[in-house]
Amino acid sequence: MIKNAALTYLIVFSCITHFACNAQVKQKESTLSSGANDIVGGGCDGCELMWIGIPSVIHAVDTSAGWREQGRKLVIKGRVLAVDAKTPVPNTIVYYWQTDNNGYYADGPGVPEAARRHGHIRGWVKSDESGRYTIYTIRPAAYPNRDIPAHIHLSIKEPDIKNEYYVDELVFDDDRLLTTANRARLESRGGSGILRTTDLGSTQYAEHNIILGLHIPNYPATLQPGPLSGPEVGEDAHSFTPFHAWGADQGKRVCPICKYGRGYGILYFAGNNSKKSDMAGWLGLLENVSFTAKPKWRGFMIYDASGGNDEAKTNKFLEALGVELNLTHTALTVVPSFLDKSSEVHRYKIHPDVSNTILIYKNSNIITKFVALEASPGNLKMVADSLRVLSAQ
């Protein structure tokens, strides 16, 4: 009898975990199902549970039941932004649910029967007038005996959208289960859900901005028109390995994001048809920001060498440029082309005919981008002003 009871216990918890995990898969499959083409997000199996037990008053700060339980304390702070990735959106409800320290959506006191499959570590925040929200919880554990990374589910209800929809679940950059294959499956719905934590004592802190409408099917707003080049704001800066012709790591193939992804940085992708005067202007800005801004920024130029020069001539050109501009804080790197797969720069989807693409990142997450900008005094000032604002945040 004891053996049978133990077996029953394991089956029950296995089913709970499996069901919650399958709900995650069904969410993504539902975007292709019939009848899902007329609703924002394309359908969401389980998101409707956000309305069960929802408080009458929702604040911008929430503390989950997990905060008072065993586990690594985790604080998530961020902003809810419009599809332009700049404008704060107040009064947006963010519903979250997660596993406990053992990897289960465990039941708990006060959890309504209809919401039990989401477990007892669940809650709601509503963005304030500045779009900000904060969640105090614990770091979830992965499902036992599964290869799915530990995660926190999120669903969103905007004030002006009729239905709720899901965005990427939050996962952890240092999770060994977050393999290259698992990273490739992430959809960046609402922006990248990869959290990069900072340890302060016994608590981990992470920042996560939600970009409303980003990669959300049937979303009524659209991104600003312009040349399509590079990842969108809210997505991650991918790892890649250019050759460093000048500056830090000179003479080596080093991944800027892997080595310097923490903190602030600028990736300046210069096409092979870029004017030298434009390159000088943007590199002057990168050098100034890298030298003077607080917190310090990392600046990298990634040069497309598909214009016909051999590798040696390209490296000499970049070395001469570094000497001419007296660059001491900016690295000049090179890839065979922006479509090159050996360096994995192709993952950035940089348009080869665009003169430049400038990506601003914080903790490896794209927070601002500029495409095909001439290095005119007005444009240089605009970008410099943007960087000053970002530094002050």
Angle at 108 between CA 104 and CA 110, to 5 degrees: 145
Distance CA 40, CA 284 (A): 44
3-state secondary structure of 57: coil
Residue 22 has pLDDT above 70, yes or no: no
Residue 138 has pLDDT above 70, yes or no: yes
Token code pair at residue 2: 């004891």
Binning pLDDT at 50, 70 and 90, where does residue 36 land?
A: low
Crossing angle (nearest 10°) for helices 276-292 and 311-324: 60
Residue-wise burial string across 367-392, b where 16 or more C-beta atoms lie within 10 A, e elsewhere: bbbbbebebeeebbeebeeebeeebe
Question: Which of 129-133, 156-160, 275-279, 385-389 shows the lowest mean pLDDT across its residues?
Answer: 385-389
Per the confidence metrics, is the pTM higher than 0.85? no
Binning pLDDT at 50, 70 and 90, where does residue 5 land?
A: very low
Among left, alpha and beta (phi > 0; psi -120 to 50; other), residue 170 is beta
Distance CA 125, CA 353 (A): 43
CB 352 within 8 A of CB 339: yes
Q: What is the pLDDT of residues 63-94, one digit of tens each?
A: 999 999 999 999 999 999 998 888 899 999 99
Q: Tell me: domain 38-211, CATH 2.40.37.10, correct?
A: no
Give the CA dihedral 49, 55, 56, 59, nearest 10 degrees: -120
Residue 186 has pLDDT above 80, yes or no: yes
Q: What is the pLDDT of residues 286-335, one digit of tens each?
A: 998 887 777 788 999 999 998 777 888 999 999 999 999 999 999 999 99
Question: Which of 12-16, 48-52, 339-343, 356-360 shows the lowest mean pLDDT across its residues?
Answer: 12-16
Q: Tell me: domain 243-392, CATH 3.10.129.10, correct?
A: no
198-200 vs 122-126, strand pairing mode: unpaired
Residue 61 has pLDDT above 80, yes or no: yes
- Average pLDDT of the residues in 119-127: 97
Domain residue limits, the chain? 38-211, 243-392
Spacing of C-alpha 144 from chain mean position: 26
Residue 221 is predicted with a pLDDT of 65
| Whole-number percent of the chain with pLDDT over 90 | 71
Half-sphere exposure of 218 (CA within 13 A, CB side): 17
- Average pLDDT of the residues in 110-118: 93
Residue 361 has pLDDT above 90, yes or no: yes
CB 140 within 8 A of CB 98: yes
Residue 173 has pLDDT above 90, yes or no: yes
Average pLDDT of the chain, as a whole number: 87
Distance CA 84, CA 223 (A): 6
Question: Is there a common fold for 38-211 and 243-392?
Answer: no
User: How far, in Å, are 96, 97, 157, 298 from residue 47 at the CA level?
Assistant: 10, 10, 10, 40
Residue 315 is predicted with a pLDDT of 92
Residue 227 is predicted with a pLDDT of 57
CB 300 within 8 A of CB 268: yes
DSSP 206: E
Q: What is the pLDDT of residues 232-272, one digit of tens each?
A: 899 999 999 999 999 989 999 999 999 998 889 999 999 87
For residue 20, what is the enclosing H or E element?
helix 2-29
